Amino acid sequence: MNAALKSLPPTPSLDADRLALLSRLTQGLAPADLYWIAAYSAAAAARLPLHAELSVVGEAPTAASNVPVERLTIVHGSQTGNSRRLAEQLSASAEAAGLPVRLLRAGAYPLRELAQERHLLVVISSQGDGEPPDDAIGFCEFIAGRRAPKLPQLKFAVLGLGDSSYPKYCAVSRALDARLAELGGRRLVELGEADVDFEAVASAWSARALDTARQALGSSATGPQPGRALHAVNEAPTRPLHTRERPFAAIVLDNQRIVSRDSVREVRHLELSLEGSGLRYEAGDAIGVWPQNPPQLVDEWLSALKLDGASEVEHDGRCRPLARWLGQERELTRLTRPLVLAQAEAGGHETLRRILAPGEQAAFSDLLATHQPIDLLRRFPAHWEPAALVAALRPLTPRLYSIASSPVLVGRDEVHLTVSVVEYTAHGSAHLGAASVFLAAASDDARVPVFIEPNERFRLPADGSRNVIMIGPGTGVAPFRAFVQERQATGAGGRNWLFFGNRHFRHDFLYQVEWQEALRSGALDRLDVAFSRDTGSKDYVQHRLREHGRELYAWLRDGAHVYVCGDATHMARDVHEALLEIIASHGRLSADAAKTWLADLLQQGRYARDVY
């Protein structure tokens, strides 16, 4: 053991209040931030000047904080993890090239340091109607606002991730790129825009950005830099054996229906074994599932296109039967603008071309909302060669599910998830969801390819005495099952208040027995429900929020954390509006002041959303 570690006292001489304060301070920080704090504390213990900035993790104290630091800062804003993964890869490449680099979530970026930033790379996605990820809202608003500093010394580059099927494609990255230039920054490389199949564009952009950043930082940065203090502290954590690219084949321990047989929707609870995987998760994280398309859907595609599933198709240096490409490697259930365009060109369909025109966004949005690709093939037939079809279809992507279990309670070698099975009739035929049908059909002892998707912005408060408000209709209740389990297992003293909604009390009350037991045991302090089809007027969770607005505001005013999980299109927006009304009414604030108040909660990490 290191001599310095042997000299540490066995336990810190901190009281409970200071330990809680330290927990709140470090909550949600990236590893680089924690390493910085460790280095700062080491400097304090050694009585080095504490005003010095340990700007690059692992380097000795250098210039004061008002002096620009020659390093590369990489900031990511991500809703589903893609931007985070790209930023991590970019950071690893920069470190391998010997560049001083720090990697930060947008929500953890110290905005006061922007004025001194010299070299900045931003990787960020656009959500919904051209909105930033929740964790990046404060970062984007600060840069767009009047308080943003002039940046004549900044060299920057922005990579945007989006979906060209939506009208405000890459709107966030475009706005950031333009604003940083307006503030005086100079582009290292031009704005990069990557669609859903982002890998090729992101790889090329990253290579250009890194090469230009290396030149800007100086040609001497060509290898690992010697002489860094605290080098061991700066070592990256060991990469897990199983990742998105190398998933773990988890054994199904249990797979059961958790709604009544009379429910119009099938919802299932699955329990998977992670034994031997080395995977670790926390309450609030998601699990990624690599699905296979339903065999009957593959048959429908082959029939509609009059193609032979056994025909061998070569693509990207790999050769395999067409049926395997369609079943295991290509998206068959998600309609996209590129596929609509390809079908229009292949079949010479003027109607499709008109729908894709700039002024026909409403018609295109309706097509996306009401059609799966199989409907497009049947309604607008076209001849496809097998190789051309495989090249035109996007690669199959994993689906993310909020984890419905606490590793403290069930153990880290087991994970639970809650799955709503997508199965409906439209245009005269059955329609199926890829991942949900795949999981619903998984029998005991079947294997499911999975990985863990961390969600650092959706964590329980480190201070267990804080109250927690959870808003999760439908399967959005999944992470709150994990939260309640976690709080009970760790003996957290704060109160827990759950808002749940669904269609019918008798048929769709997910985990009803568990919630009732939690109320009896004290693990859950309050439960308010809304069942929209049980009464003449459709009641939703936002109506329950308004009914209990005075108490809810009092909880928030006194330090409670509020979490929202579920549908982003309608529910999350309606809940957000309800919270604004409650804050304005019971806090006696103007509409603008209420927005600022709620935005502050978001920045503090006390308002967190996991929406999709």
The angle subtended at Cα 359 by Cα 357 and Cα 360, nearest 5°, is 70
Contact between 561 and 552 under an 8 Å Cβ cutoff? The reply is: no
Farthest-apart Cα atoms in the chain, separation: 77
Q: What is the pLDDT of residue 14?
A: 52
Going by C-alpha positions, the residue among 442, 164, 510, 84 that lies closest to residue 290 is 442
CB-based contacts of 584, cutoff 8 Å, min separation 6: 590, 591, 593, 594
Q: What is the pLDDT of residue 10?
A: 41
Mean pLDDT of 16-22: 53
Bridge pairing between strands 267-273 and 248-257: antiparallel
Q: What is the pLDDT of residue 31?
A: 47
Bridge pairing between strands 155-161 and 186-187: parallel
Q: What is the pLDDT of residue 517?
A: 98
d(CA 454, CA 285): 5
- Residue 591 three-state SS: helix
Contact between 394 and 471 under an 8 Å Cβ cutoff? The reply is: no
Eight-state DSSP code of residue 240: P
Mean pLDDT of 335-341: 93
Question: Which two structure tokens, joined as six digits, stand for 336?
Answer: 């996209």
Torsion of CA 38, 41, 43, 49, to 10 degrees: 130
Please, which pLDDT band fits residue 480 given cuts at 50, 70 and 90?
A: very high
d(CA 555, CA 493): 15
Tell me the pLDDT tens digit for each residue of 82-132.
999 999 999 999 999 999 999 999 999 999 999 999 999 999 999 877 889
Question: Does the 468-611 domain belong in CATH 3.40.47.10?
Answer: no
Going by C-alpha positions, the residue among 489, 581, 597, 569 that lies closest to residue 166 is 569
237 pLDDT more than 80: no
Tell me the pLDDT tens digit for each residue of 152-195.
999 999 999 999 888 889 999 999 999 999 999 999 999 999 99
pTM here is 0.84
Q: Report which of residues 106 and 230 the model is more confident about.
A: 106
Mean pLDDT of all residues in the chain? 88
CB-based contacts of 341, cutoff 8 Å, min separation 6: 352, 356
Contact between 478 and 514 under an 8 Å Cβ cutoff? The reply is: no
Tell me the pLDDT tens digit for each residue of 423-435.
999 999 999 999 9
Mean pLDDT of 539-543: 96
Q: What is the pLDDT of residue 23?
A: 56
Superfamily for domain range 295-392: NADPH-cytochrome p450 Reductase; Chain A, domain 3 (1.20.990.10)
Tell me the pLDDT tens digit for each residue of 183-227.
999 999 999 999 988 888 999 999 999 999 999 987 444 444 433
d(CA 162, CA 131): 11
Q: What is the pLDDT of residue 255?
A: 98
Please, which pLDDT band fits residue 26 given cuts at 50, 70 and 90?
A: low
- Crossing angle of helices 337-347 and 361-370, rounded to 10°: 100
Query: What CATH architecture is 3-217?
Result: 3-Layer(aba) Sandwich (3.40)
CB-based contacts of 179, cutoff 8 Å, min separation 6: 143, 144, 148
- Residue 156 three-state SS: strand
Query: What CATH architecture is 248-291+398-453?
Result: Beta Barrel (2.40)
Tell me the pLDDT tens digit for each residue of 562-609.
999 999 889 999 999 999 999 999 999 999 999 999 999 998 999 999
CB-based contacts of 157, cutoff 8 Å, min separation 6: 120, 121, 122, 187, 188, 189, 190, 191, 192, 205, 209, 212, 213
Q: How many CB atoms lie within 10 A of CB 288?
A: 20
d(CA 183, CA 175): 12
Q: What is the pLDDT of residue 361?
A: 87
Instruction: Tell me if 3-217 shares its fold with 468-611.
Output: yes
The pairs formed by 366-373 with CB atoms below 8 angstroms and a separation of 24 or more are 367/335, 367/340, 368/165, 368/335, 370/426, 371/335, 371/426, 371/427, 372/332, 372/333, 372/334, 372/335, 372/426, 372/431, 373/331, 373/332, 373/333, 373/334, 373/335, 373/339
d(CA 285, CA 292): 23
With a pLDDT cut of 90, the percent of the chain lying above it is: 78
Half-sphere exposure (Cβ direction) of 65: Cα atoms closer than 13 Å: 10
Going by C-alpha positions, the residue among 128, 80, 87 that lies closest to residue 104 is 87
Q: What is the pLDDT of residue 167?
A: 82
Tell me the pLDDT tens digit for each residue of 286-324.
999 999 999 999 999 999 999 999 999 999 999 999 999
Tell me the pLDDT tens digit for each residue of 345-398.
999 999 999 999 988 889 999 999 999 999 999 999 999 999 999 999 999 999
151 pLDDT more than 70: yes
Please, which pLDDT band fits residue 20 given cuts at 50, 70 and 90?
A: low
Is the CA virtual torsion 374, 377, 378, 380 positive or negative? positive
Q: What is the pLDDT of residue 239?
A: 64
Q: What is the pLDDT of residue 560?
A: 98
Owner of token pair 């990207």: 316
d(CA 305, CA 299): 10
Please, which pLDDT band fits residue 79 given cuts at 50, 70 and 90?
A: confident
- Residue 290 three-state SS: coil
Please, which pLDDT band fits residue 24 given cuts at 50, 70 and 90?
A: low
Q: Report which of residues 551 and 46 the model is more confident about.
A: 551
Mean pLDDT of 273-298: 97
Q: How far is CA 250 from the centre of its chain?
A: 22
Q: Report which of residues 54 and 133 the model is more confident about.
A: 133
Q: What is the pLDDT of residue 230?
A: 32
Task: Specify the length of the chain in residues.
Answer: 612
265 pLDDT more than 80: yes
Tell me the pLDDT tens digit for each residue of 29-73.
544 455 456 545 544 443 333 333 333 333 333 333 455 568 999
Q: What is the pLDDT of residue 61?
A: 35
Please, which pLDDT band fits residue 548 given cuts at 50, 70 and 90?
A: very high
Question: Would you kindly state where each structural domain of the chain is located, as residue ranges?
Answer: 3-217, 248-291+398-453, 295-392, 468-611
